[in-house]
Structure 1
Amino acid sequence: MARIGVISISDGRDHVHARNADFIRSKQDGLVESLRRAGHQVVVGDDLVATNVLATSVARKVAAADVDITVLYYSVWAFPHFTMLAADATRSPLVLVASTDPTEPGLVGMLAAGGALDQIGRRHTRAWGAPDDAELVERIGVQAAAAAAAKSLHGSTFGRFGGRPMGMNTAVANTDQWQRKFGIDVEEIDQYELVLRAEKADQAEAAKAREWIERHAAGVHYDGKKLTPELLERQIRSYLAIRDIIAERNLDFSGIKAQPELTENFATMDVTEAFLNDPYDWNGPKETHVCATEADMDGALTMQLFKAVAGTPVLFADVRHYHADRDIWDLCNSGQHATWFAARSDDPAENLAKVNFYPEVFFFPAGGASVQHIAAPGAMTLGRLTREDGEYRLQLMLGDFESYDAATNKLLVDQSTPEWPHAFARLDAPGELFLSKFGANHIHAVPGDHRPALRALADQLDIRLDEWTRG
């Protein structure tokens, strides 16, 4: 959960503030208790703001606690210039919250303060309700989750293995823009480093991992050519190698170009990428590490934000095909979907029981295993950060992953590439609109409806929101 600062703003007249102080504290205590019951950490201002000096000093102390958002609370009429001074003393996103108790003009105080912030262009959001109003607490929580996700980017490092893949412009972002807008540094790493490290990786652990995969997967389909135990272990050693590089260089998320150098001369990175994105490997539970195939920078950035908001692994896929007769999309890319999506279980054995490791197809002469499964059904939030004329936009929609009987699944996967993973998605976006407007070939998804937090995130980052629905 998020870290929320709460500062109550009061009337600047001594005699009025003295009359109102207990009322303000009772409302503030109720709101703080509600936020804490919801699981948030709350940092409360050390005094009620009733002077210009307190407006600055209280806000600075709350800001020093590294809060994700600052709630400025209005349970009475409050002098607007106190809000202006407090806002200037903090850089966190602001949520102006008004008590709706009609005995005191808290709404008036919030509106006067909000109008003043509008005049100077200071972004903020507004909410109102009783201190124990569940809807109010949820609205504040959504803003806090979005702010925490945005803040998590600042000071982070993206590891970019290789350069632009196959002339794919949408996979490359401006590093200056990333630093300025998101606070992200980009570490450029040659793919040869990965090859060298893989050759020196622990052979015993690679063998242990291969045996674990063989024991738990639905099938490992060796063919003696494109997929052998040796090639699978090479892919596993690549995972061990990049994991070491991630630790040494303190990479927060990453992307691997792979095509064509690795896929034609070494091995595909499908196994590596799948297990990096998984919440486990053969050694047990672990933190997911967002890794985008084809070193897709905006794809990885989208995944990192989706992960921060949803707290789950994030799907990476091509928009492979639209079955217009069924109004479903086949989201399918190489073989790098995290195995977690096969059943979305905390038990890796349950997920892997639905995963097949097939020999790579003709696109990839170096061979290795593709990680094939059909994503488990359920409601999904889908989207991507794309750019139009150099400016970021968040293209966002809700949808459902679907799975069918064995014969229908086979019919559908055989129409594209059956050896690769598939997510059959019914999107809220009409097919014609999606194909006319979506700004990339890659799309990303997390379970559940996380649109409120992502809307807030787009607003806080000053990114245009393109949200698509039917009707």
Structure 2
Amino acid sequence: MARIGLISLSDGRDYVNKDIDAFIRSAEDRLAQALSRAGHEVVRTPGPVTSNRDATAYAREVAAQKVDLTVLHYAVWAFPHFTMLVADATPGPLLLLGSLDPVQPGMVGLLAGGGALDQIGRTHTRLWGDVDDALLTAIGTQAAAGAAVAGLRGQTFGRIGGRPMGMNTAVANTDDWMRLFGVDVEEVDQWELVLRSEKVEQSRVTAGREWLEKTAAGVHYNGANLTPELLERQIRSYHAMQSLIDEKGLDFTGIKGQPELTENFATMDVAEAFLNDPYDWEGPKATHVCATEADMDGALTMQILKLLTQKPVLFADVRHYHADRDVWDLCNSGQHATWYAARSDDPAENLAKVHLYPEVFFFPAGGASVHHLAAPGAMTLARLTRLDGRYRLHLMLGDFEQYDEETNERLMNQSTREWPHAFARLDTPGARFLETFGANHIHAVPGDVRAELRAVAAQLDIDLDEMTR
């Protein structure tokens, strides 16, 4: 759960504070105890803010604890300039929480403080009412978003290679990333993967190949563009990426791949799939985010989703729309994490549904494509894009579906069967999606995290494009 700072604000008149101090402290105790029971760590101040000096000092003390969210608590009327001073000393997201208790005008304090913040353009969220399950859930949503936003700051994205095949939507301004998200970009030449691949111990490479041959549903060597040697080259590329990530402290990454590596070395399908998985042939590991085609905005979207859910994130092309079924085929080379084949914590269950097929003609250097059909289930789909230079977040619900074997095969064969597929029914009309969606890549995680993503968009001050029927 999250770390939440709690600051109660009060009246600035001493003779008033004498009569309301106990009321404020009692209300704050109830709120803090409820948040703690919900699993949050609550950072509190010595007492309510009753002066300019309290406002600044208490806010700095709370901020120093690296809280994910700061809650300004209004149980009574509070001098609005206390809110301004607290906000100025608070770098993270703010939530203003007002009481509707008729005994004291906490709602008035909330509106006065919030209005003052509006005047200076300080982003904040407002909640009000009794401390019940609904309110605690709403606070938790804001705190989870705050943790994800704070988690981004200070991270480094490793871009392996440059812009792929002229895809402007895959390239972002590094100055914007630092200013908006606090993320640095480390540029790494793809040649590093070739050089490092040669240095990987053969024992690790052999172990990876044998594990895939034993665990996957099939490794379909054809003696040409998929051989044991080419598969080992892909395994070497995976370990080369791991060494880059460790050595350079890369929090999330993207590999250009096309056309240099895919024409002259090997596809990065195996490396990308298992980097996004919570396991590999050497055992469980931390889930990483690696975007194909060095897609910066795609990787950033995926990293936010991972920080929110701690689950593997799916990366896909919006490859085809089956209009007769109102179903989208989300498919992109070998990028899908194998976790999505069965959504199991046991890699053997997932790999039992995964086939390694020879790559198609797009990638003459060869290697294996990591094929599977994503398991059914509810999904949240999202993508950061830019409209006239300003970031926006596309957001929608969807369901991954599967059908009978004959139908699954027929639908996959209409595009590129060798690649991984996810049949997605989106909660938005096809025309609405095609008219407004600002990229050819999309990303997804299981479940419904729309509320958290709405909060992320608000805290980052980026536009929200929520698609729904």
Same fold (TM over 0.5): yes
> SS state of the match for residue 272, structure 1?
helix
> SS state of the match for residue 418, structure 1?
coil
The aligned residue for residue 96 of structure 1 is 96
The aligned residue for residue 438 of structure 1 is 437
The C-alpha deviation readout for 1:229-262, integer Å capped at 9, x for no partner, is: 1111110111001100110000011100111111
The aligned residue for residue 455 of structure 1 is 454
User: Counterparts of 2:10 and 2:73 in 1: how far apart (Å)?
Assistant: 9
Segments of structure 1 that go 5 or more residues without pairing to the other structure are: none
The C-alpha deviation readout for 1:375-395, integer Å capped at 9, x for no partner, is: 111111112001111111111
The aligned residue for residue 74 of structure 1 is 74
User: Counterparts of 2:30 and 2:178 in 1: how far apart (Å)?
Assistant: 40
Higher mean C-alpha displacement, 18-27 vs 195-204:
18-27
Query: What are the within-5 Å matches in structure 2 for residues 259-408 of structure 1?
Result: 259-408=258-407
User: Counterparts of 2:97 and 2:404 in 1: how far apart (Å)?
Assistant: 50
Q: Which amino acid aligns with 1:96?
A: L
User: Counterparts of 1:468 and 1:13 in 2: how far apart (Å)?
Assistant: 49
Q: Which amino acid aligns with 1:378?
A: G
Contact kept, 8 Å, 2:354 with 2:372, in 1: the verdict is yes
User: Counterparts of 1:277 and 1:38 in 2: how far apart (Å)?
Assistant: 30
User: Counterparts of 1:29 and 1:440 in 2: how far apart (Å)?
Assistant: 48
CA deviation after TM superposition for structure 1 residue 16, in Å: 2.1
User: Counterparts of 1:358 and 1:39 in 2: how far apart (Å)?
Assistant: 46
CA deviation after TM superposition for structure 1 residue 182, in Å: 1.2
User: Counterparts of 1:106 and 1:410 in 2: how far apart (Å)?
Assistant: 61
User: Counterparts of 2:437 and 2:122 in 1: how far apart (Å)?
Assistant: 31
Residue 21 (structure 2) pairs with residue 21 (structure 1): yes
Q: Which amino acid aligns with 1:112?
A: A
Q: Which amino acid aligns with 1:433?
A: R
Q: Which amino acid aligns with 2:139?
A: I
Contact kept, 8 Å, 2:160 with 2:255, in 1: the verdict is yes
The aligned residue for residue 253 of structure 1 is 252
Higher mean C-alpha displacement, 212-221 vs 238-247:
212-221
Query: What are the within-5 Å matches in structure 2 for residues 53-72 of structure 1?
Result: 53-72=53-72
Residue 144 (structure 2) pairs with residue 160 (structure 1): no
Q: Which amino acid aligns with 1:143?
A: Q
Segments of structure 2 that go 5 or more residues without pairing to the other structure are: none
Contact kept, 8 Å, 2:395 with 2:464, in 1: the verdict is yes
The aligned residue for residue 51 of structure 1 is 51
CA deviation after TM superposition for structure 1 residue 62, in Å: 0.5
CA deviation after TM superposition for structure 1 residue 95, in Å: 0.4
The C-alpha deviation readout for 1:320-359, integer Å capped at 9, x for no partner, is: 0000000000000011100001111111111111111111
CA deviation after TM superposition for structure 1 residue 2, in Å: 1.6
> SS state of the match for residue 55, structure 1?
helix
User: Counterparts of 2:57 and 2:382 in 1: how far apart (Å)?
Assistant: 41
User: Counterparts of 1:314 and 1:452 in 2: how far apart (Å)?
Assistant: 18
User: Counterparts of 2:449 and 2:153 in 1: how far apart (Å)?
Assistant: 22
User: Counterparts of 2:445 and 2:85 in 1: how far apart (Å)?
Assistant: 39
The aligned residue for residue 10 of structure 1 is 10
CA deviation after TM superposition for structure 1 residue 100, in Å: 2.5
User: Counterparts of 1:196 and 1:121 in 2: how far apart (Å)?
Assistant: 50
Q: Which amino acid aligns with 2:85?
A: L
User: Counterparts of 1:221 and 1:181 in 2: how far apart (Å)?
Assistant: 45
Contact kept, 8 Å, 1:47 with 1:54, in 2: the verdict is no
Q: Which amino acid aligns with 1:21?
A: D
User: Counterparts of 1:55 and 1:177 in 2: how far apart (Å)?
Assistant: 32
User: Counterparts of 2:39 and 2:345 in 1: how far apart (Å)?
Assistant: 22
The C-alpha deviation readout for 1:276-302, integer Å capped at 9, x for no partner, is: 000111122111110000001111011
> SS state of the match for residue 214, structure 1?
helix
CA deviation after TM superposition for structure 1 residue 172, in Å: 0.9
Q: Which amino acid aligns with 2:218?
A: G
Q: Which amino acid aligns with 2:371?
A: Q
User: Counterparts of 1:284 and 1:377 in 2: how far apart (Å)?
Assistant: 26
User: Counterparts of 1:41 and 1:286 in 2: how far apart (Å)?
Assistant: 27
Higher mean C-alpha displacement, 98-107 vs 436-445:
98-107
User: Counterparts of 1:20 and 1:240 in 2: how far apart (Å)?
Assistant: 62
Contact kept, 8 Å, 1:319 with 1:332, in 2: the verdict is yes
Higher mean C-alpha displacement, 120-129 vs 330-339:
120-129
> SS state of the match for residue 200, structure 1?
coil
Contact kept, 8 Å, 2:123 with 2:461, in 1: the verdict is no
Contact kept, 8 Å, 2:25 with 2:47, in 1: the verdict is no
User: Counterparts of 2:351 and 2:37 in 1: how far apart (Å)?
Assistant: 37
User: Counterparts of 2:452 and 2:208 in 1: how far apart (Å)?
Assistant: 37
> SS state of the match for residue 187, structure 1?
strand
CA deviation after TM superposition for structure 1 residue 99, in Å: 2.0
User: Counterparts of 2:86 and 2:31 in 1: how far apart (Å)?
Assistant: 19
User: Counterparts of 1:251 and 1:44 in 2: how far apart (Å)?
Assistant: 34
User: Counterparts of 2:307 and 2:82 in 1: how far apart (Å)?
Assistant: 33
Contact kept, 8 Å, 1:403 with 1:409, in 2: the verdict is yes
> SS state of the match for residue 23, structure 1?
helix
CA deviation after TM superposition for structure 1 residue 166, in Å: 1.0
Contact kept, 8 Å, 1:234 with 1:267, in 2: the verdict is yes
How large is the RMSD of aligned CA atoms in angstroms? Answer: 1.0
User: Counterparts of 1:115 and 1:392 in 2: how far apart (Å)?
Assistant: 26
Higher mean C-alpha displacement, 227-236 vs 328-337:
227-236
User: Counterparts of 1:176 and 1:269 in 2: how far apart (Å)?
Assistant: 28
Residue 108 (structure 2) pairs with residue 108 (structure 1): yes
Query: What are the within-5 Å matches in structure 2 for residues 102-251 of structure 1?
Result: 102-131=102-131, 133-251=132-250
User: Counterparts of 2:91 and 2:255 in 1: how far apart (Å)?
Assistant: 34
CA deviation after TM superposition for structure 1 residue 86, in Å: 1.2
